[in-house]
Structure formats: C-alpha cells, structure tokens
Amino acid sequence: MKPALRQQLARYARRLAELDSLLADPSVMKDGNAFRALSREHTEVLGIVERQRQHAQRERDLAAAREMSADPEMAEMAAEEIAAAGADLERLEAELQRLLLPRDPDDARAAYLEIRAGTGGEESALFAADLLRMYTRYADRCGWKAELISESESDLGGYKEVVLHLASPAGEPVYGALRYESGGHRVQRVPATEAQGRIHTSACTVAVLPEADESAEVTLNPAELRIDTFRASGAGGQHINKTDSAVRVTHLPTGLVAECQDDRSQHRNKAKALAVLAARLRDRERIEREAREAATRKGLIGSGDRSDRIRTYNFPQGRLTDHRINLTLYQLGAIMDGDLEPVVRALQAAREAELLAEMEIGDA
C-alpha cells in the first residue's frame, strides 16, 4: 500500500474517534440536523476504518505465512495462505481506494427531478409520463418520499413538463444516485396514436438538481423576483380551481421560472416554488463552472448538458442503451417499472473508474 494512502487511513481512524466522542455529547444529540449529519459521516468513516483493519489483519496473516513457509512441513499450507492473503489485500486496497475517492457534497442532498417533453409531440408527452412513473417507482423501491411539485398535462394524459421532489427519510444520497440521469432520453416505439404500427422516435429531457440548503450560497433578492398567482389546473377538487393558489416565480436577471400548484395553500406553494428556483440557480452556476473546467478536462459521464442524448429506450427490442458508457440491458420492462438500480450502479462504477484512472495519472 502506498504511503499516501496509509496516511489518509490514519486520518480517518482519528476522525472516527472524534465522531464517537461527538455523537456521545448530549448537546449534539439535541441538535437533530447536526446529529444526522454526524451520523452519516460516522457510517462512512466506520466503513473505511473497518476495511483498513481487515487490510492490516491480512497483512499480519501474510507475514506469518511467509515465516511459516520456511518450515518444509508447513510450506504447502503456507503457500495457500500467502495466495489467499495476497488476493484479499488486493481486493481490500481496491475497495479502500474507491471509498477514498473525492465525494461531491451535493450527493447527500435531496433532489428535484424535472422532466420535459421534447421532439415527438404527444408521444413525447406520454413518454414523459412513463419516465415519471419509472422514477416514482424507483423512489418507492428505495424508500424515498416523492412529492409532485408542478405539472403541465398534455391532451392525452401525458406531461409537457413535470417537477418531482425526492427525499430520503433515512438521509440516503438521493442526488448522488440520480445525478447522471440529466440529459436527453430518446424512446423508440409504436405510439398509441399510430394506426399503421410504425415505430416512431421521440425524446424528453431530464434535469436532476440538488436541493439547496436553507443556508445555501444562493440568495434570492426579492427585488429581482416577479411573483404571479393564478388558478391551478388539473385535479384537486373545487377549491383548487376557484382560488389563485398556484404561484409562479420569475428570476428577472436570468429569466428562470419556477411554479408550484400542488398545494391548496398559496403560501406553501410560494415556498416550494422559491426552493425550486434556488435549486435551478445553483445548478446553473454549477453548469457554468463545469463548462469553464471542461477546457482542461472532459468527464466520461459528461456535464449533464440537457442537450446530450444520454440514453435510448427501444421498446420493440426490449432494450435500454446508455450511450455514455456503452451499457446495453435487455430488461426494459423491469427498468420502466422502477428497477433502475442496474443502470444507477453502472453509471456510478464508470465514474469511480474514471476518478481512479485520474488518480493513477496524478501519482505517476
């Protein structure tokens, strides 16, 4: 193991002791937000330290086996233990390297997921509804809470645009799981409106934005906002159609717009719309920053540019293809029913492999 990696692991061992002490402090336990944040960090650090301990134990086992190999009667047994310990050390070191990869602090946040119909007219809007169902069912599988923030329905029951808020009651990294869903999603299938059975191609765009902290760096200046109220459309009963409860907020300097009509309370709709707007402004800043950095570095997964065609859903062949990592899965039915985990894991693994390669180049 490289000395730099050992130094990092030593720092994590010290941090674990600090976290044990902090989590036992009654004042910290009274602060729910601080306690949850420290608990999440404790879980991550403990996983690293436990693997480091396993690695240290296997190093001791390897040293003992090498000593034992000097005894002719024990040589065969020692050779088997040397091989096993060597394989375990290689595996554990690879796991430790992955665990020590730099983490995006946004990964642990809740997320806003936006789906917009693109080329393809009504079929694109119907596909947007299918994507909403896929992500909602995936959230159910993960135990996340999914809340519809705003929707603009099409004539045949699809969506021109829909915004979903996803959060994990257990504090799991929602944005970290879905961040690579941003981009263009293309569908190839026979539309319900096609009388002659011809396959059509249409597309939607998906944007996944990390939820901004209440104390986030994005500050909304009231003088730069235009707030409009209007009557909500769609389902909701008599009340929602008779009062101006829906809220639309426009950020005048950028032209970004966020609206919410899901709640009967105008005040709560306004708060939700402002939260969406803050997330969009934060994401806009991130994209601009990544565009500047792209002059020197181009990531495998990409910047999440909304114009990128990242994935194709081919219904006649039951095939999903993610073009960024050349991933092809013939289980489209299960994926559309919410079994998105194979895709999420493959994208995360590709990103980890890219980061590991960069670290090796940097160490060279």
**Angstrom distance (rounded) from CA 262 to CA 247:** 10
CATH number of the domain within which 43 lies: 1.20.58
125 and 95 within one domain: no
Report yes or no on 362 lying in a domain. Answer: no
278 and 176 within one domain: yes
pLDDT on residue 304: 46
Report yes or no on 64 lying in a domain. Answer: yes
Average pLDDT over the chain, rounded to an integer: 85
pLDDT on residue 307: 54
171 and 76 within one domain: no
Q: Are 152 and 161 in contact (CB under 8 A)?
A: yes
- Where is 240: in which H helix or E strand? helix 237-242
112 and 93 within one domain: no
Report yes or no on 133 lying in a domain. Answer: yes
Domain count, the chain: 2
Q: Which residue numbers in the chain have pLDDT < 70?
A: 193, 213-218, 233-243, 290, 292-308, 359-364
314 and 253 within one domain: yes
128 and 74 within one domain: no
pLDDT on residue 184: 93
pLDDT on residue 327: 96
Report yes or no on 364 lying in a domain. Answer: no
Report yes or no on 357 lying in a domain. Answer: no
Domain extent for 294: 105-352
175 and 255 within one domain: yes
pLDDT on residue 64: 94
pLDDT on residue 308: 66
Tell me, yes or no, if the pTM score tops 0.75: no
Q: Which residues contact 226 (CB under 8 A, 6 or more apart)?
A: 249, 250, 252
63 and 32 within one domain: yes
Q: Which residues contact 163 (CB under 8 A, 6 or more apart)?
A: 112, 113, 114, 115, 148, 149, 150, 151, 258, 276
303 and 276 within one domain: yes
pLDDT on residue 293: 53
302 and 175 within one domain: yes
Report yes or no on 34 lying in a domain. Answer: yes
214 and 150 within one domain: yes
